[in-house]
Amino acid sequence: MITMELPEIITTIIAAISIFSVVYSAIVMKKAGVSVFLLQIQTPISIVKRFLRLGGGRQRFLVGRSNLLPDAIFQKLVAAGYQWDYFAYNDDGEQVSMRKLYRDRQVHVRTFDDGTIRMHDEFNYEIEPVKHIQVALVPASKVEIAAVIAALEATPEIDSKEYDTPIAYAMQRISGKDLPTG
């Protein structure tokens, strides 16, 4: 009879999750591209979500659509000052998850397998972990949205129903939230 102690069981479970993640990512690599494949297999939350087959829809704040492949999106967002977001929860159909840091906040960009782009502004989880979890997401600044739309050669598409009020996006304060561009 084979007996295993708790540390061995945990190690075996982690190994199984990692193998599952690599195999799953390899299957979708043709769509996503090599860079995104390598980043996805290292994302802990993505590994657990895939293993447990968790789904939760998508967060609010649709900003546009792009026809670029995930690898190209990744390269263009890196050039625009974004970095891969390793510890973000993965929305359904998400292919790229990147963030740009400023002060104690971050702008989070997500792109999906149907070409949609979603963006929001939130507290940076390294600096303000409690606020990151507890404070509601807010729309990204108009300047940052425009920069991402241009970088990803995308078509703008703002769904006003996703904002708290139909005029919330139009009335958004720009001065305190806009990031410097360029």
Q: Where are the domains of the chain?
A: 6-162
Show Cβ contacts of residue 59 under 8 Å, excluding neighbours closer than 6 positions.
Answer: 91, 110, 118, 120, 137
Give the pLDDT score at 55: 54
Separation of alpha carbons 22 and 42, rounded Å:
9
Q: Please report which confidence band the pLDDT of residue 35 belongs to, taking 50, 70 and 90 as the band edges.
A: low
pTM of the model: 0.65
Say how far residue 83 (Cα) sits from the centre of its chain.
10
Tell me the C-alpha to C-alpha distance, in Å, between residue 174 and each of 109, 118, 121.
18, 19, 13
Q: Please report which confidence band the pLDDT of residue 180 belongs to, taking 50, 70 and 90 as the band edges.
A: very low
Tell me the C-alpha to C-alpha distance, in Å, between residue 113 and each of 28, 29, 50, 156, 179.
11, 12, 16, 17, 27
Mean pLDDT of 80-88: 88
User: Using one digit for the tens of pLDDT, what is the confidence trace for 99-115?
Assistant: 999 999 999 999 999 99
In the chain, what is the straight-line distance between the N-terminal and C-terminal CA atoms, in Å? 64
Separation of alpha carbons 159 and 4, rounded Å:
53
